[in-house]
Structure 1
Amino acid sequence: MPQHIYLISGMGADGRLFQKLRFPENYVVHHLPWLTPVSPDESIAAYAARFVEQIAYPNPVLMGVSFGGILSMEIAKQIPVKKVVLVSSIKSSAEKPAYFNWVRRLGLLHLPDQLILQSRYPVVKFYNNIETQEDEQLLKSFLSRQDNVYLRWAIRTIIHWQSNTIPAPLYHIHGTKDRPFPFRNVKPTHVIQGGGHFMVLNRHQQMNAILQVLLD
Structure 2
Amino acid sequence: MPVQEKKTTVYLLSGLGLDPNVFKHLTIHSDDIHHLKWLEPKKKESLESYALRMSEGIQLKGDNKLVLIGHSFGGVLMQEISKIITTDQIILISSIKAKKEKDAGMNFWMRTFPLHQLVTQKMVVNSFKSWGKKHGYQSQEAQAMFLHAAQQHSSYYFRWATSQIIAWESKDITTPIAHIHGTKDKTFAFKRIQPPLIAIEGGSHLMVFNKAAEVSQHINHILDKM
TM-score (norm 2): 0.87
Q: In the alignment, is the contact (CA less than 8 A) between 1:91 and 1:166 conserved in 2? A: no
Q: Deviations over 1:161-192 (max 9, x none)?
A: 12243433210000001111000111252110
- Give the count of matched residue pairs: 214
Change in 2 beyond 3 A, CA 1:113/1:137: closer
The answer for unaligned runs of 5 or more in structure 2 is: 1-5
2:3: which partner in 1? none
Q: Which of residues 39, 43, 48 in structure 2 aligns to 1:45?
A: 48
Query: Is 1:210 the counterpart of 2:218 in the alignment?
Result: yes
2:16: which partner in 1? 11
Query: Is 1:197 the counterpart of 2:205 in the alignment?
Result: yes
Question: Which secondary structure does the structure 1 equivalent of 2:84 belong to?
Answer: coil
* Structure 1 residue 122 displacement after superposition: 2.5
* Structure 1 residue 13 displacement after superposition: 1.1
Q: What fraction of aligned residue pairs are identical, expressed as a percent?
A: 36
Change in 2 beyond 3 A, CA 1:87/1:135: same
- One-letter amino acid matched to 1:78: I
Q: In the alignment, is the contact (CA less than 8 A) between 2:120 and 2:158 conserved in 1? A: no
TM-score (norm 1): 0.91
Question: Structure 1 CA distance, aligned partners of 2:134 and 2:80?
Answer: 24
Query: Is 1:75 the counterpart of 2:97 in the alignment?
Result: no
* Structure 1 residue 116 displacement after superposition: 5.2
How large is the Cα RMSD of the aligned pairs? Answer: 1.9
1:104: which partner in 2? 111
Question: Which secondary structure does the structure 2 equivalent of 1:84 belong to?
Answer: strand
Question: Structure 1 CA distance, aligned partners of 2:100 and 2:119?
Answer: 29
Question: Structure 1 CA distance, aligned partners of 2:216 and 2:88?
Answer: 19
* Structure 1 residue 133 displacement after superposition: 1.9
Query: Is 1:92 the counterpart of 2:101 in the alignment?
Result: no
Matches within 5 A, 1:1-216: 1-24=6-29, 26-39=30-43, 41-57=44-60, 59-100=65-106, 101-111=108-118, 113=120, 117=124, 119-187=126-194, 188-216=196-224
Question: Structure 2 CA distance, aligned partners of 1:19 and 1:138?
Answer: 10
The answer for unaligned runs of 5 or more in structure 1 is: none
Question: Structure 2 CA distance, aligned partners of 1:112 and 1:179?
Answer: 20
